[in-house]
Amino acid sequence: MTIYEELGVPTLINAAGTYTVIGASRMSEETLAAMCEAARSYVTLERLQEAVHRRVAELTCNESAFLCNSCSTAIYLAIAACAARHYGRSFGNLSPEEIGKCEVIALWGQHIPYDHAIEQLGVKLCFLGYPNMEAPFDRRILEEAFHEHTICCYFASRTPSGYYGEECMNLAVFRDVAHRAGVPVLVDGAAQLPPKSNLWHFTRDMGCDMACFSGGKDLAGPQASGLLVGKKEYLDIVASLGFPKYGCGRLMKIGREEIIALYSAIRQYVAADEDARLQWCENEVRKLLDALHCTKHFSAERTWPNQAGQPLPRAFVALRNTSLSPSELRRMLEEGTPSIICYSENRPGVYVNPMCLAEGEMEQIANRFLELDHILEKGGNAI
């Protein structure tokens, strides 16, 4: 009996992607073995961090790196480092009034729940622009937003290179304007892996000061882990504030197990063959398209890129010749055997994302759609 069976919690096939609410990703056997090995021995945490951070910086072609317990923690600590640098004093010696004067510039089109990590520090968020990132954006709006208490510019990238199109506020322009004002840039690349080159593209190649990533998404490290990379002058401050130091990040605990597991996951990720993975995903999508091409109530097509703008294909399975709603289809998939999770994204069907699938799971998904097609043909809606 598995632990999930003992608890009465059904497992599922993740055909949605690296969403936190369904577990994001699966750690490899190598990562799991490293995590177990780490748990068997005691170490001085700061010595471990020093060694791992140095090695991760080398692996990701960055000046420095810091592993923490979430991407939100990485954001929180990065902004704290910017505040300390702004005043030229230790963050712990800043008064609430001084922290409250600090302002971080961001874009309305990138406003997400995770930017609350910035406000939790006590600084202000100033949003510019429009809800639609694809709208033309006059760079003067950004140029005129800076003042004496602007400590950082925050860019939540939703494309692999932060590019939204001509006349839009793209990352390259955002960086140029910020740096001309002497203000650092933090790139939130939580879900912007792949490509793995983003581990160094935002910082080394584009010159942004820091970039953060989820450790539990495509890196396939522990769910509660995060990675911050970038310039040493900022990361040194982060290290002075983060766990286990008695700074503002002390409460954001990360253990030796998560540190070693994320280190192992990063090492594997950098060494992995991206072309082979892309081809595997293409093959999985083709399996579903081929399986459903003669069904009466479904039609499937390849789509690109996936929901997070990552350069991987998905399949969209559209409903046809039926009054079944997308929500009913999702319920039938989730409550069936096997239980399959996928999302509709406000379209009349469901997306099937291969990026989190294991061998053989796409065949199970295809068979379930074939079963549902037979049920619908008979006029039923049972699971």
Identify which of 241, 192, 194 has the alpha carbon closest to the alpha carbon of residue 84: 241
pLDDT truncated to tens, each residue of the chain (383 aa)?
899 999 999 999 999 999 999 988 999 999 999 999 999 999 999 999 999 999 999 999 999 999 999 999 999 999 999 999 999 999 999 999 999 999 999 999 999 888 899 999 999 999 999 998 889 999 999 999 999 999 999 999 988 889 999 999 999 999 999 999 999 999 999 999 999 999 999 999 999 999 999 999 999 999 999 999 999 999 999 999 999 999 899 999 999 999 999 999 999 999 999 999 999 999 999 999 999 999 999 999 999 999 888 999 999 999 999 999 999 999 999 999 899 999 999 999 999 999 999 999 999 999 999 999 999 988 755 44
Residues 187, 192: Cα–Cα separation, whole Å: 10
What's the Cα-to-Cα distance from 38 to each of 135, 202, 245, 255, rounded to whole Å? 49, 31, 21, 9
Looking at residue 308, its pLDDT comes to 87
Looking at residue 383, its pLDDT comes to 45
Amino acid 150 reads: T
Residues 220, 57: Cα–Cα separation, whole Å: 18
Residues 303, 320: Cα–Cα separation, whole Å: 18
Looking at residue 113, its pLDDT comes to 85
Report the predicted TM-score, pTM, of the whole model to 2 decimal places: 0.93
What's the gap between Cα 117 and its chain centre? Answer: 15
Looking at residue 380, its pLDDT comes to 58
Identify which of 266, 219, 216, 252 has the alpha carbon closest to the alpha carbon of residue 77: 252
Q: Is 263 helix (H, G, I), strand (E, B) or coil?
A: helix
Host H or E run for residue 104: strand 103-107
Residue 259 in contact with residue 41, Cβ under 8 Å? Answer: no
DSSP strand pairing (103-107 vs 124-128):
parallel
Looking at residue 32, its pLDDT comes to 98
